[in-house]
Amino acid sequence: MPVAEQLTDRDAVHAEGPVWFPQWGGLRWVDMLAGDVLHLDESTGRVDRWHIGTVAAALRPRAGGGAIIATERDFVVVDMIGGAVRSVSTVITAPGVRFNDGACDPAGNFYCGTMAYDETPGAGALFRICAADYGVEMVLGDLTISNGLAWTGDGAMAYFVDTPTGRIDVFDYDSTSGLTGRRPFVIIDAAEGFPDGLTVDVEGGVWVALWNGHAVRHYDSSGTLVEVIEVPPGQVTACTFGGSDLTDLFITTSATGAGKDSPGAGAVFHHKASVPGIAVRPFNG
């Protein structure tokens, strides 16, 4: 079993949502509950912080520059990384609920899910903000921990995780109907960990981080387990492809709860993948 290599120091308490985008200098991710966006300078190994607010849940580049970010309750945009933050929609009004993980669809709209801080079953949802007019719509309800979301390269399918179900689900997708036909893709035994963030490669394979699982699992497009990458910290939160040929798999980890004393918990790890990933889809708003 290959073992991922530690790439950064333990710079975060709860590292999540890695995104590699060359126009903003490579890899960025969040220290979610600190409200910070982190950036790795690959030439020096230095990690810089940019404070957004109480929570920095997920981010994606904007096609015209800058980024869209889900904070605790809002969708916010910036025109340049490190620039002034402005809210374009306050989405969450229920107490004790926050944004969690998200991604952009092939049309350039940004989706982000929610969860209750106390993980109340059914309190979460998945929202979409439209790139054209910033209108917000709830796409899925009755979720608990809305987590990993990623589309295939051809945009015809999307994979999604509601963590406590122990499943990776798959949807059909088109720009008119959105996400339809939800069905199980892979079921993971709770003894092996819980599915968290995920990403998709050029062959339609799914790479999923396992919370409490010390691993990233790679499934092919049929749902067959291809390989397991060991990650020393137990709380593995998310993964993304990057680098010049999109074969660098960057893996985030958490130093919260039972995993706080794991070796390297809170660091970013790296694995050289056997197949390239898909370039991040930007927000077109």
Evaluate the CA torsion angle 122, 183, 247, 229 in order and state its sign.
Answer: positive
Does residue 191 sit in helix, strand or coil? helix
User: b/e map of 144-179 (b: 16 or more CB within 10 Å)?
Assistant: bbbbbbbbbbeeebbbbbbbbbbbbbbbebeeeebb
Residue of 162, 169, 196, 248 with catalytic role: 196
In the chain, what's the furthest Cα-to-Cα distance? 47
8 Å CB contact between 153 and 162: no
Evaluate the CA torsion angle 248, 264, 233, 29 in order and state its sign.
Answer: negative
Q: Could you confirm whether 245 is annotated as catalytic?
A: no
Q: How far apart are alpha carbons 45 and 207 in whole angstroms?
A: 25
**What is the distance, to the nearest Å, from the Cα of residue 145 to the centroid of all Cα atoms in its chain?**
13
Amino acid at residue number 53: G
Annotated catalytic residues are 196
